[in-house]
C-alpha cells in the first residue's frame, strides 16, 4: 500500500539489493522488535532468537535482513543520533545570545529521547563504553553541540584568558551535567529520584539552569524560568 515510495537503494547494509515493500516492512518489524528487546534486557543479553521471537518470525529470517545484531542495532541508534544532530531545528526558536534558552532547547531533545527510548540511550552508553569506533561517532555528535559554545567562548567571556584547548576541557566538564541524572531517572528509573514526578519540560529546565550556573557562576534570568524558579533560592547571599 505504499505510493511511489523509492525502493531504498541507499542502504549500505549487505543484501540491500532489491527488496519489496513487504520485505521492507518485515525489516522494520524486526527493528521494532529489537527496540523492545533492548528496553527489556539491553544489548549484551539480547539474542537473535529474542528478536525473531518478539517479531513472531523464524530465526533464520533475521539473516535475510541483517548481517548480525550489531548491524541492526547500529542502524537503530543511527536513526536516533541523527535527531540529536539537527542543531538548526533544535535552536529554531531561540536567539543566539539567549544562552539559557539555547541550553534548554538542547536539553529538551536529550530529555525527550531518554524518556521515550530509554533502551536506546542505554545501548548508546553500552556501545560507547565498549567500542572505540562507536564512541567516536557518538562523541562527534556531542562535540558538535559543545562547539556551539566553545567556538564563541572568547566573545562570550572576553576577559577570560583560557586558550582554545583549555576551553574545550572546561566545556566538556560542564557538558556532563545532567547525563548522570537522566540516566538514573529515565533508564535506571531509580525510585528515590522518581519520587519527584517531573515533566520533560521541567527536567530540561532544571538541567539547563544547573548548567547555566556552572557556566556563568550566576543564576539564569528569573523571567525565563517557568518551573525551576526555586533554584534562585539556592544561594547563601
Q: How far apart are the first and last CA of the chain?
A: 66
**Ranges within 133-192 binding its own copies (CB under 8 A):** 135, 139, 156-157, 159-162, 165-166, 168-170, 172-181, 184-185, 188, 190, 192
User: Could you tell me the smallest distance in angstroms from the CB atom of residue 55 to DNA?
Assistant: 8
Residue 16 sits in the site that holds DNA (CB under 7 A): no
Please, which residue, 24 or 39, has the CB nearer to its own copies? 39
* Distant-in-sequence, close-in-space partners of 175: CB < 8 Å, separation ≥ 6: 142, 146
User: Could you tell me the smallest distance in angstroms from the CB atom of residue 187 to its own copies?
Assistant: 8
What's the rounded Cα separation, in Å, for the pair 185 and 188? 6
Please, which residue, 2 or 164, has the CB nearer to its own copies? 164
**Ranges within 30-69 binding DNA (CB under 7 A):** 47-49, 56-64, 68-69
User: Could you tell me the smallest distance in angstroms from the CB atom of residue 205 to its own copies?
Assistant: 12
Residues that bind its own copies (CB under 8 A): 42, 44-45, 122, 125-126, 129-130, 132, 135, 139, 156-157, 159-162, 165-166, 168-170, 172-181, 184-185, 188, 190, 192-193, 195-196, 198, 206-207, 210-211, 213-219, 230, 233-236
Amino acid at each position: 500500500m505504499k505510493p511511489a515510495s523509492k525502493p531504498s537503494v541507499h542502504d549500505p547494509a549487505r543484501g540491500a539489493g532489491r527488496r519489496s515493500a513487504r520485505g521492507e516492512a518485515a525489516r522494520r518489524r524486526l527493528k521494532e522488535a529489537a527496540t523492545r528487546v533492548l528496553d527489556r534486557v539491553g544489548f549484551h543479553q539480547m539474542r537473535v532468537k529474542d528478536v525473531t521471537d518478539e517479531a513472531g518470525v523464524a530465526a533464520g529470517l533475521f539473516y535475510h535482513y541483517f548481517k548480525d545484531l550489531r548491524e541492526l542495532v547500529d542502524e537503530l541508534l543511527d536513526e536516533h543520533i541523527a535527531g540529536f544532530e539537527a542543531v538548526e531545528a533544535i535552536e529554531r526558536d531561540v536567539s543566539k545570545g539567549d544562552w539559557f534558552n539555547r541550553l534548554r532547547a538542547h536539553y529538551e531533545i536529550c530529555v525527550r529521547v531518554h524518556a521515550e527510548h530509554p533502551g536506546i540511550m542505554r545501548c548508546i552508553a553500552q556501545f560507547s563504553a565498549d567500542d572505540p569506533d562507536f564512541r567516536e561517532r557518538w562523541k562527534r555528535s556531542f562535540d558538535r553541540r559543545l562547539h556551539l559554545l566553545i567556538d564563541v567562548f572568547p566573545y562570550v567571556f572576553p576577559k577570560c584568558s583560557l586558550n582554545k584547548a583549555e576551553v574545550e576541557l572546561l566545556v566538556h566538564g560542564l557538558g556532563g551535567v545532567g547525563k548522570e541524572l537522566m540516566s538514573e531517572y529515565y533508564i535506571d528509573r531509580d525510585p528515590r529520584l522518581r519520587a519527584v514526578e517531573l515533566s520533560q519540560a521541567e527536567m530540561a529546565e532544571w538541567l539547563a539552569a544547573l548548567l547555566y550556573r556552572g557556566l556563568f557562576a550566576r543564576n539564569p534570568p528569573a523571567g525565563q524560568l517557568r518551573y525551576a524558579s526555586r533554584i534562585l533560592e539556592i544561594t547563601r547571599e
